[in-house]
Amino acid sequence: MQKQRDSFSSKFGIIAAAAGSAIGLGNIWKFPYIAGENGGSAFIIIYLIFIVLIGVPVMMSEFIIGRKAKQNVFGAFRQLTSHGFWKIIGIMGVLAAFLILSFYGTVASWTIEYLVLAFKDGFSGKSSDELTFMFESFSQSTFKPIVWQVLFMALTAYIVIGGIKKGIEKYTKILMPLLVVIIIYLDITAITLKGGMGGIRFLFYPDFSVLTHQSIIDALGHAFFTLSLGMGVLITYGSYFKKDTNITSTSISVAGADTIIALLAGLAIFPVVFAFGAEPGKGAGLVFMTLPKIFELIPGGYIFSILFFLLLSVAALTSSISILEVIVAYISEEKNISRKKATIITAILITLTGIVCTLSFGPLNHIQLRGFTIFDIFDKLASNILLPLGGMFISIFIGWKLKKQIITDELGNYGTLRFKFLKVFMFLVRYLAPIAILIVLVQGIWQIIMEMIIAG
Ligand code: TRP
């Protein structure tokens, strides 16, 4: 595969592309809504701790594996070890990619609908209740969300077929910083809202008594989800890295940018939630029900609402192509199918399962397990179980299996770079990350079993 061996043309291009995968609906749609459901700042603190102590080391591990092997996730483990066990990372990754892209397409379809609404000036003059109603009636309908979802998946497939790298590098470099600028503008408005202080308090004053087992699992799962970790996306991206790419500083920059955007998104949303007396735990529609309110209040709101939903759609796209790429690389390389054919088949299959996720808000809403819809189940299964498990195996692979020399070479760029934190890094990947992930997962599974016993 010639294409995979190209490399990014600049340092900023590398960071922008990895950040393009990381920054997506996870930051602006998912983070506020699960932070809201889990009571805000105490959850956020746990999530930040997971980002620093588990996310960054696992990200560095993926980059090390990718750049060393210069292959997709399956090829990488085949090259670096003779033991077939590690294939499990790739297999779980493909499954997770399938699940994630299914529900990602649902949320992307909402984003496109809101872009169209923004064009039509569809938010102005609407009360909070009306905005809530607008979202609910759209997301529960059958036809339109599916049209947008098909369109989104077709676009994703089109970019993946056409050699993603030029596109990724060129567009994310301009569009991601633009998104940040707009969010900051929204923040300034939100913070100065009358009654918005409640939102700031919700974000920054922790109350640990509201934390549950579920919050801890959600926080871990989201740390993986938001950084695109645990399923080999960043192994693939690492394979494009150049010899002089600094793996450590790249990881810190990507994780830093991703975290800042999530926090800025929260800062734009929660003051609005509180100022208008809404409910932070409103669930998956939170952003769509609250953000339109700000556009009405800011100068140039019409233009900014269009720009915002346009950029959110692009951010979703740069993430979704990285997810589709994992499956396409697997099928095309392992099953000997052409890249184009692999992309089309995969995209069609995922669109079909994705439609089921979309309909789980409307006609299929009655299908539930412990109160979770199909949409929730896809998300929790992938984000809270498969990704952390994948991350656990990746860190064990780096910590216990890969030759130490390879790690020092990759982190120190073959002697040209001084890497001072080897001991800390090795401690994190050997002990802290795998053990912490295991505890959280076991606790989560235990919780489910107990609930099942109690229920009966
Ligand atoms: N990180 C992206 C977001 O926050 C989603 C995503 C892209 C992802 N690639 C991934 C999640 C790989 C998990 C694994 O929206």
pLDDT per residue as tens digits for the range 329-361: 888 877 889 989 999 999 999 999 999 999 999
Which ligand 1 atom minimizes the distance to the CA of 323? 9
**Can you give the pLDDT at residue 2?**
41
Which ligand 1 atom minimizes the distance to the CA of 315? 15
Whether residue 320 has its Cβ less than 6 Å from ligand 1? no
User: How far is ligand 1, taken at its centre, from the CA of residue 26, in Å?
Assistant: 7
* pLDDT tens digit sequence for 92-122: 999 999 999 999 999 999 999 999 999 999 9
**Can you give the pLDDT at residue 15?**
76
Which ligand 1 atom minimizes the distance to the CA of 322? 9
* pLDDT tens digit sequence for 167-179: 556 666 777 788 8
Whether residue 132 has its Cβ less than 6 Å from ligand 1? no
**Can you give the pLDDT at residue 163?**
62
Whether residue 221 has its Cβ less than 6 Å from ligand 1? no
**With a threshold of 0.75, does the pTM exceed it?**
yes
Which ligand 1 atom minimizes the distance to the CA of 231? 14
Q: What parts of the chain have a pLDDT lower than 50? A: 1-4
CB of 222 closer than 8 Å to CB of 259: no
Whether residue 351 has its Cβ less than 6 Å from ligand 1? no
User: How far is ligand 1, taken at its centre, from the CA of residue 416, in Å?
Assistant: 32
